[in-house]
A = this chain, B = another copy of it.
Amino acid sequence: MKNNFLLLSAMLLWGAGTAQKDSVMIRKIYDEALQNGQCHQNLQVLCKQIGHRLSGSPAADKAILWGRDLLQSYGPDKAWLHPVMVPVWQRGKSETGYVIGQNGERTRTRIAALGGSVGCPGGITGELIEVKSFAQLDSLGEQGIRDKIVFFNRPMNPLHINTGAAYGGAVDQRGDGAARAARYGARAVIVRSMTLAVDTFPHTGGTWYADDFPKIPAAAISTVDANALSVRMSKDKNLRYELTLNCRDMPDKEQANVIAEWRGSVNPERIITIGGHLDSWDIGEGAHDDGAGIVHSIETLRILKAIGYKPRNTIRIVLFINEENGNRGGITYADEAKKKGEYHFAAIESDAGGFVPRGFRLDGTDAQLVWLKDQAPLFDPYDLHYFRGGGSGVDIGPLKDGRVALIGLVPDSQRYFDYHHSDQDTWENVNKRELELGAASVAALVYLIDNAEW
């Protein structure tokens, strides 16, 4: 009994000492991020000197070299390019959309072809039909849809507090709308942009075809145009739409994930991966999506080096390629890991924007989730409060093996879709402190994971 008591006391003291040491380290990490942070200026270079960088583009090539050189400058043990074959889709020089009235009057709407769409360089014209759901599409059937241009116009639901949930409830229109409408003989689709903002910017994003039906052109229109068009259609049933797209698929090309490795001093065989995706859509600057995650990940290395930390496990920063239209980077990275029999202890992804961090989501074992929740008090001084299960990130998803902890940074979601996949996703719309706090949060979690056992 007495021995147990002593043991218990020793354990409690040890626990208190560890918590004390952790809180000092985490304070150092945040101080370094806020006092000497480089992520905001690094993001400026990525956004302004390189700009948007769709997989397969020359800009993506530039971004890969930029990322490797920047990582190298922060002194990892090594940095290298990990070759990945990526799809190449090009928007082409011009794309136009016109609403055509009964007397032939033409009203231009600003459009953006959806990523992966086939082109229609000669233009396609058809009668417009507004559809809010796939159930409605199915009930209209071939009779209602054939030869028409389907206008998918179900708004994201503003009642979701997390805007990601609102996106999840609407994005089927963008991802599968063309494939579903093609079944019934539609000529093309236009899709209301995936944003809760009422703005004049088309927000693009991937669309995916089914193999057993023809591929038809698909483009996004802005929410302002979608609202106006819907009102106009309620008064005039015979509106037509003319869509001209010059986008096309090209042969796959070799690009790369960028990887920097910092070897562990105790368990070098155990790997902690931190990453985001280097590619972006081909409009805007890919600042929040996912330039923020890229500079968060790179800044993690810089911060831990700057405070003199020596990792127990091997830390890898990975700038994944091709998240937006294929996830070839994530898949190739996981394939390689499997082939080499690597032991992945944890992987953290930042791909939800450079907004003020609120916490982390974990996809892993029950023990790992309990561990994550136990870290909450250490993050309380930094206003992080969200530590829950479920979800992580697209790039790290393929690593899932029942053992690795997959973790996603959870920034505040309110403004994310204002910028997402549009010309608005620029460096100017990323706040310096919010970005730095995100980087510090990732670095702090990496430190804690590096000292965890589960």
| Given A412-B356, A412-B412, A433-B158 contact (CB < 8 Å) | yes
In the complex, how many residues of chain A place their beta carbon closer than 8 angstroms to a beta carbon of chain B?
27
Interface check A59, CB cutoff 8 A = no
Contact of A209 with B by CB under 8 A:
no
Q: Write out the residue numbers on chain B whose beta carbons fall within 8 Å of the beta carbon of A415.
A: 431, 433-434
In the complex, identify which listed stretch (A106-114, A137-145, A291-299, A377-385) lies at the interface while the others stay far away: A377-385
Residues of B within 8 Å of A434, CB to CB, are: 414-415
Residues of A423-445 contacting chain B, CB below 8 A: 431-434, 437
Q: Give the shortest distance, in Å, between A23 (CB) and chain B (any CB).
A: 13
Complex Cα distance, B161 from A380, in Å, reads 11
In the complex the two chains form, is A356's CB within 8 Å of B34's CB?
A: no
Q: Does A159 touch B at the CB level, under 8 Å?
A: yes
Cβ of A412: which chain B residues have Cβ within 8 Å of it? 356, 383, 412
Docked Cα-Cα span, A382 to B385, in Å, equals: 13
List 22 A-B pairs, Cβ < 8 Å. A30-B159, A30-B161, A34-B158, A35-B158, A35-B159, A161-B381, A161-B382, A161-B437, A162-B383, A163-B433, A196-B433, A197-B432, A358-B383, A385-B385, A412-B412, A414-B431, A414-B433, A414-B434, A414-B437, A415-B431, A415-B434, A418-B431
- Extra contacts besides A356-B412, A356-B414, A415-B431 (9): CB < 8 Å: A30-B161, A34-B158, A34-B159, A35-B159, A158-B433, A414-B433, A414-B434, A415-B433, A415-B434
